[in-house]
Structure 1
Amino acid sequence: MEILRYVAFSTDPKGGNPAGVVLDATGAADTAMLATAAEVGYSETAFVVPSGDGALDVRYFSPLAEVPFCGHATIATAVAHAQRHGTGRLRLRTAAGPVTVTTDRAADGTLVATLVSVAPRTAPIEEADLAELLAVLGWSAGELDPALPPRAAFAGAWHPVIAAASRDRLADLDYDMAALGALMAHRDWTTVNLVWRESPTVFHARNPFPPGGVVEDPATGAAAAAFGGYLREFGLVSPPTTLTIHQGADMGRPSTITVTVPAELDTGIGVTGTAVEL
């Protein structure tokens, strides 16, 4: 397999979230894909198998396990594909469902990709799980933003949304990785989406990812899509609208994710970003 390495959601290789990309993994066994992802060492590696109907079958592996969907690896895959085959629209088949991705060139020549997620939804977080999650994070209920209630959000993978009342609270992240990983594995959560609202359409996020063997993800497209759906479902934004999510700054890898929230409740969420090859 030819392994490509990209940074997604940044035009600077020192920012964004690195992803591995294999544009043709035809015939590769699950064990080979997992071993490759572990060797690459990034939070996710995408493995693509072209099909006869023009769609692409895509699977995503962290160094420890397969995940149903990954936003930043999808953006990286789309840009890598566009560099070799030209821009346009791709149909992806993922474990989470069908995802479309469109690539184009910005005025400065930068390749930009926009994915449209599966239809998002949310679910309550049980009181005991929320108490355990906050305890593992070292956060208190009084440090949360009451305008953004805790909720598990989905747009291909599940992410609990926990909103901090202040930027300082979000900036101070120090948690028990083993304990959080155990809780997340029990509840099938992929990352924890910690957010702070700067303005009605600008947010800052951090995403612990212990199930993937990663302390923190610097840009999480799947969580951004799920968060867009969460905001729409609870009337916390006025769709159609465009959101900006800043992530990775606290770990020295600044990333920018653009989220497009359509008005229709049963439609997917758009996630836009750039990617550059390493």
Structure 2
Amino acid sequence: MTFSTAVTVLRYAAFTSHPGGGNPAGVVLDAAPLSEQQMLAIAAEVGYSETAFVTFGDEKRRRFTLRYFSPLAEVAFCGHATVATAVALAERHGPGELVFDTPAGEINVETTADDDGAVRATLTSVPTRSRPALAAEVDAALSALRWDRADLDAALPPHVAFAGNEHLILAAASRARLADLDYDFEALAGVMRTYGWTTVHLVWRENEDHFHARDPFPVGGVTEDPATGAAAAAFGGYLRTLGLAPTAGVLTIRQGEDMGRPSDLTVEVNPHHTRVRVTGHAVVLSQR
């Protein structure tokens, strides 16, 4: 897509190897001349949950400055747009290490090419943290979601987890509860603004190292994200805090299935470090 400002927006789907899956992201590789208002307007026109803007680049050092905008506001960090941007840069400059300076902090990304040429990216989050959610926070979110406390998995307590942004984590007691998502958009957006959450990360644990997730994102003007790398990193930190990370330290999150855009996120948790690694592919979508 080319806007009247002569800015070209690339379109990628992140956390998938197929254009029909993953989370679409806009990527602007030369956003240095753009104002904040112009970036927000472009993100709104693109209409994806986030568009990433490279506002400075040092190709020799492979270091870039990124800003992220939803259709409604700037966000400090976005995992799927980071993966999309890293893959776009790797396709142009070759795979290898990248460093992104973001409003949330420095993000290191490793890009590699598979045997079939597909590019994957592994981002390392800023230090994560997680705390138990307050009763008032949980009650407000459950009311907007139209869930009851009986719908929650008592073995995975509600937390507010951080990996660049804050996310409320609620674990569903069943896959059916997770699949039946019919929430009050305006009410949940209001709750999230009150408490400063970027998404509500809804999960169901299939087994120790495989989870299913959904992420309502009404504060960004989007009903739901089909893949949320920032929330996946925060969730990894949550499991680390609770001592529930898989023995091998690697888990997978299946997201977007109930939206018809299946996505796969690989999360690596080290019990000795607060930073979490999140891996996924990204593929080009039709540039329209």
Match of 1:273 in 2: 280
Partner Cα distance (1:89, 1:229) in 2 = 23
> Are the aligned partners of 2:208 and 2:246 in contact in 1 as well (CA < 8 Å)?
no
Alpha-carbon offset, residue 238 of structure 1:
4.2
In structure 2, relative to structure 1, the CA distance for the partners of 1:54 and 1:10 (3 Å cut) is closer
SS in 1 for 2:215: strand
Match of 1:180 in 2: 188
Q: Deviations over 1:212-254 (max 9, x none)?
A: 0000100000000000010011101245511100000001100
In structure 2, relative to structure 1, the CA distance for the partners of 1:113 and 1:54 (3 Å cut) is closer
1:13 aligns with 2:9: no
Match of 2:42 in 1: 36
> Are the aligned partners of 1:78 and 1:103 in contact in 2 as well (CA < 8 Å)?
yes
Partner Cα distance (1:241, 1:218) in 2 = 24
- What one-letter code is carried by the residue in structure 2 that aligns with 1:18? P
Alpha-carbon offset, residue 107 of structure 1:
2.3
> Are the aligned partners of 2:27 and 2:52 in contact in 1 as well (CA < 8 Å)?
yes
Which residue of 225, 231, 242 maps to 1:234?
242
Stretch deviating more after TM superposition (21-30 or 196-205) = 21-30
Partner Cα distance (1:263, 1:186) in 2 = 32
> Are the aligned partners of 2:22 and 2:263 in contact in 1 as well (CA < 8 Å)?
yes
Partner Cα distance (1:149, 1:25) in 2 = 41
Partner Cα distance (1:204, 1:55) in 2 = 33
Partner Cα distance (2:196, 2:114) in 1 = 37
> Are the aligned partners of 2:40 and 2:70 in contact in 1 as well (CA < 8 Å)?
yes
Alignment RMSD (CA, Å): 1.1
Q: Deviations over 1:148-184 (max 9, x none)?
A: 0000001011100000010000000000000000110
Match of 1:72 in 2: 80
Quick one: percent identity of the two aligned structures? 58
Q: Deviations over 1:37-81 (max 9, x none)?
A: 001110000001234565211000000000000000000000000
Match of 2:125 in 1: 117
> Are the aligned partners of 1:122 and 1:154 in contact in 2 as well (CA < 8 Å)?
yes
1:18-29 aligned at under 5 Å gives the runs 18-29=24-35
Which residue of 266, 271, 283 maps to 1:263?
271
Match of 1:155 in 2: 163
When the two structures are aligned, how many residues end up with a matched partner? 277
1:171 aligns with 2:179: yes
1:108 aligns with 2:106: no
Structure 1 alignment gaps of length 5 or more: none
- What one-letter code is carried by the residue in structure 2 that aligns with 1:273? G
SS in 1 for 2:199: coil
Match of 2:152 in 1: 144
> Are the aligned partners of 1:240 and 1:262 in contact in 2 as well (CA < 8 Å)?
no
Match of 1:132 in 2: 140
Partner Cα distance (2:279, 2:138) in 1 = 30
- What one-letter code is carried by the residue in structure 1 that aligns with 2:26? G
Alpha-carbon offset, residue 190 of structure 1:
0.4
> Are the aligned partners of 1:19 and 1:72 in contact in 2 as well (CA < 8 Å)?
yes
> Are the aligned partners of 1:114 and 1:273 in contact in 2 as well (CA < 8 Å)?
yes
Alpha-carbon offset, residue 123 of structure 1:
2.5
Stretch deviating more after TM superposition (126-135 or 151-160) = 126-135
Partner Cα distance (2:29, 2:62) in 1 = 14
SS in 1 for 2:240: helix
> Are the aligned partners of 2:62 and 2:97 in contact in 1 as well (CA < 8 Å)?
no
Which residue of 60, 81, 86 maps to 2:89?
81
> Are the aligned partners of 1:239 and 1:263 in contact in 2 as well (CA < 8 Å)?
no
SS in 2 for 1:192: strand
SS in 1 for 2:133: coil
Partner Cα distance (1:243, 1:106) in 2 = 21
Q: Deviations over 1:177-223 (max 9, x none)?
A: 00000110111100100000001000000000000000010000000
Stretch deviating more after TM superposition (172-181 or 46-55) = 46-55
- What one-letter code is carried by the residue in structure 2 that aligns with 1:271? V
